[in-house]
Amino acid sequence: MNRVARRFPTEPDDPAKLWSYIARVAGEIGRRGTFNFILVNGDALFARCDTKLCFIERRAPFGKATLKDHDVSVDFGAVTTPRDRVAVVATAPLTVDEVWTHGAPGTLWVFRKGRLAATLRSA
């Protein structure tokens, strides 16, 4: 975090510069051992897959989803608005009736406003 703060004391005009730098630093750290992480800076959510990580994007029209570990369904349509959008990141899919995207080791995802904005190499 200190390296990122020193390199970018203020937000860069081009956010992709910050994203690339985070991917590079995370790759350097990952070479020392397993390094999955989630980081949020108020604008973007960064999720790095080293071993296993997956995500799903949910947006209208929202439907029901059944949890993988419990016999419980959630009707997201009842608790959201048509304008809502969300990305969920986890080490394994949390639901059985939705399509989750699995990450490749050494990948950094960048999410903004609930949607995938970039996939970067971080090895």
pLDDT digits (tens, 9 = 90+) for 44-76: 999 999 999 999 999 999 999 999 998 899 999
SS3 content of the chain, % helix, strand, coil (to 5): 20, 35, 45
Does 20 share its domain with 7? yes
Q: Which of 24, 21, 18, 58 is nearest to 41 (CA)?
A: 18
In sequence order, what are the residues at sequence separation of 6 or more whose Cβ sits closer than 8 angstroms to the Cβ of residue 4?
A: 18, 21, 22, 25
Query: Which stretch of DSSP H or E encloses residue 21?
Result: helix 15-30
Range of the domain at 11: 1-47+105-123
pLDDT tens-digit map of 91-106: 999 999 999 999 999 9
Note whether 22 and 46 are within 8 A (CB): yes
Instruction: For residues 41 and 61, state if they share a domain.
Output: no
Q: Are residues 60 and 86 in the same domain?
A: yes
User: Can the peptide bond before residue 61 be classed as cis, meaning omega within 30 degrees of 0?
Assistant: yes
